[in-house]
Amino acid sequence: MKILITGTPGCGKTTLAKGLAKKLKFECINEKDFALKNSIGEFNEENELEIPIKLFEKKMNNFLKTKKNIIIEGHTLCEMKLLVDLVILIKIDPEELQLRLEQRNYADLKIMDNVFCEGIEYCHKKLKKNYKKFHIIESKNNPALTLAEALFLVNSQK
């Protein structure tokens, strides 16, 4: 099974993906790590990796053709159509997101950008364009509860 996990930065994608991968004994790949390993994208003035979506999509789909049990996670994955069996969107209350990003010492502008994207449901809208079916999990303040919900979802898809 190939699983895609996406959502706004700070919503819990990485924590969920790693926890799910450990429970299912799946490989777990982060979009930024994949991009760096495959020389996709360039760093901008803020030292953020800018990923060209179409090139990333092509390389990731070629990579996914060689895999069976894998989880890929990242916030830009909602912007592309990937060859996966299950798509999970992690959503979070914008106020909770703001608190998490503040605790991670994000710059004020990045916090505002990400809270805005969550508020207008950017990833949700992009997924609607790219996938016929996807599942939404509300990020909990307890990662174990979020993981339990995701495990139930995965098991129901088998």
Tens of pLDDT, residues 65-78: 999 999 999 999 99
Instruction: Show the beta-strand stretches assigned E in the chain.
Output: 2-6, 27-30, 42-43, 49-50, 70-73, 86-91, 135-138
Residue 46: pLDDT band (50, 70, 90) is confident
> Residues for the chain: how many in total?
158
As given in the structure block, the two tokens for residue 106 are 């994000």
Looking at residue 157, what is its pLDDT? Answer: 87
Range 2-157 has CATH code 3.40.50.800: no
The pLDDT of 30-46, averaged and rounded, is 94
As given in the structure block, the two tokens for residue 48 are 């953020």
pTM higher than 0.85: yes
The pLDDT tens digits for 112-157 are: 999 999 999 999 999 999 999 999 999 978 899 999 999 999 999 8
d(C-alpha 82, C-alpha 64), whole Å: 8
Nearest to 3 by CA among 88, 116, 127, 128: 88
Whose structure tokens read 């790693």?
18
Q: Where are the domains of the chain?
A: 2-157
